[in-house]
Amino acid sequence: VNEFELIEKLTRSLPTNKSVVTGSGDDCAVLDLGLPDKLLLFKTDAVVEGVHFKSSAPPEKIGHKALARCLSDIASMAGTPTAALITIALPKTFDAGFIEGIYSGISALARKHDVAIAGGETTTNPERILISVSMIGLAPRGKVALRSGAEAGDAIFVTGELGGSLANRHLEFEPRLAEGRWLAEHFPIHAMIDVSDGLAGDLRHILKASRAGAELLTTAIPISRTAKLASRAESSAKPPLLAALTDGEDFELLFTVAAKHAVPLLDAWKIQFPKLKLTCIGKITDREGITLRDKTGARPFIAHGYEHFSK
């Protein structure tokens, strides 16, 4: 039983109630608390020493990453974050300065996005630091971007460049909050997710929820300079395209819109976000799975994205 199989089994019959619009299986839970024009987003995400960050990483960057991961999930639902709670589990002997550094990284990013750090707790985890962030946010009713709305014929877009994030970017990335909100406000986004498990892995999450397939143009996939350089420097490194498809923790936005909106969206994006690349990488199909198309033809893509437990 791997992580994903376990989650699927555990989440099959969870208790629900009338407040739940979308439970497990999307980037955030979506709850209806009776606010006339808004839905509540609710998310939790943890980072663990030695798993999601090295012990030698600067504490400010660890804090930044811990908060930014949750913010990225709020962004992928086109939401605005409101408040977070920080749970930090520590060995009995801890370096108070290091913990203050983590909080300093959290606080700096929270201030930037007007997120309140409304409390939390410290507890004991004898062998390593674990930081769990819980977050609530709000999204306009009727404009929450789920994973489940992709339709055959949709254009698939991704922000930024992919691959090689674990070299550095995973500790420094900026959650695409303004971008996610702007997209849902100006275009009828069919499905959206943030790329945390790798492009292929997260696209599969959309395809599964939407019961659809996808065809990607290999030449269109935006590959990061880091992934390209790594491949040149080490013969054992992943080929750059594979890195872009399967490396985790890019934290870019992956979304689909009806094909007729593709060109107007690209044009409007360039004016709104001139510094951030947006690329159309393919289209949603009604055939299961991901197909890669290049000048030699089309072939199915099988390799999976990042899975925590199998690494």
Residues 306 and 166: beta-carbon distance below 8 Å? no
Asked whether position 54 contacts a second copy by CB under 8 A, the answer is: no
List strands edge to edge, sheet with 297-301: 191-194, 253-257, 155-159, 278-285, 213-217, 289-294, 297-301
Residues 261 and 187: beta-carbon distance below 8 Å? yes
| Cβ nearer to a second copy, comparing 78 with 115 | 115
Nearest distance from C-beta of residue 56 to a second copy, angstroms: 18
Q: Which part of the chain contacts a second copy (CB under 8 A), choosing from 91-99, 213-221, 265-273, 292-300?
A: 91-99
> Is the backbone of residue 164 left (phi > 0), alpha (psi -120 to 50) or beta?
left
Nearest distance from C-beta of residue 191 to a second copy, angstroms: 18
Asked whether position 40 contacts a second copy by CB under 8 A, the answer is: yes
Nearest distance from C-beta of residue 187 to a second copy, angstroms: 27
Asked whether position 228 contacts a second copy by CB under 8 A, the answer is: no
Q: What is the 3 state secondary structure string of 243-309?
A: HHHHCCCCCCEEEEECHHHHHHHHHHHHHHCCCCCEEEEEEEECCCEEEEEECCEEEEECCCCCCHH
Nearest distance from C-beta of residue 209 to a second copy, angstroms: 13
| Residue numbers 141-160 binding a second copy by CB under 8 A | none
Asked whether position 66 contacts a second copy by CB under 8 A, the answer is: no
| Residue numbers 252-291 binding a second copy by CB under 8 A | none
Site track for a second copy across 13-32, x = CB under 8 A:
xxxxx-xx--xxxx-xx-x-
Q: Which part of the chain contacts a second copy (CB under 8 A), choosing from 37-45, 181-189, 255-263, 278-286?
A: 37-45
Concatenated DSSP letters of 13-34: G----TTEEE-BTBSSEEE--S
Q: Which part of the chain contacts a second copy (CB under 8 A), choosing from 108-116, 181-189, 205-213, 268-276?
A: 108-116
> Is the backbone of residue 163 left (phi > 0), alpha (psi -120 to 50) or beta?
left
Asked whether position 178 contacts a second copy by CB under 8 A, the answer is: no
Task: For the beta carbon of residue 124, count every other beta carbon within 10 angstroms.
Answer: 9
Which residue in 66, 72, 75, 119 binds a second copy (CB under 8 A)? 119
Question: Which residue stretches of 90-173 are H helix?
Answer: 96-112
Which of 191, 216, 226 has the alpha carbon at shortest distance from 206?
Answer: 191
Asked whether position 51 contacts a second copy by CB under 8 A, the answer is: yes
Nearest distance from C-beta of residue 108 to a second copy, angstroms: 9
Nearest distance from C-beta of residue 140 to a second copy, angstroms: 13
